[in-house]
Amino acid sequence: MPEKTSLCLLSGGLDSIAAMIIATQKTTVLLGITIDYGQRARKQEIESASRVCKYLGIPHRKITIDWLGQTGSAILQQGKDIPEFSF
């Protein structure tokens, strides 16, 4: 077992899941944390993060930040278009 411990911030997306798996190889992950800031996909993201933590045997907690939902972001508001970028 690794000597170092860590907490992992987990959105439920592929990047944070991969980062958490790497963290489990290098540290003892004590807790997976997901932030609910009112994002449109929060239900799916929180469920995904919870499932990954359960699979890995790591406790999972959701932290709700209600006030952040008062901002005017397309990620947060259903009526706003999500900007498209071309590269």
Q: What is the CATH number of the domain that holds 47?
A: 3.40.50.620
Does the residue 80 lie in any domain?
no
Q: What is the mean pLDDT of residues 33-42?
A: 85
Instruction: Classify residue 60: in a domain, yes or no.
Output: yes
Segment 8-35 shows an average pLDDT of 94
14-26 and 42-56 helices, crossing angle to 10°: 20
Count up the domains in the chain and report the number.
1
Q: Which of helix, strand or coil describes residue 30?
A: strand
Q: Is the pLDDT of residue 29 over 90?
A: yes
Does 47 have pLDDT greater than 90? Answer: yes
Host domain of residue 32: 5-70
pLDDT at position 73 over 70: no
Answer yes or no: is 45 within a domain: yes
52, 31 Cβ separation under 8 angstroms: no
57 band by pLDDT with thresholds 50, 70 and 90 = very high
pTM: 0.72
Tell me which residue of 78, 83, 10, 80 sits closest to 40, measured CA to CA.
78
Q: Where are the beta strands (DSSP E) in 22-79?
A: 28-36, 60-64
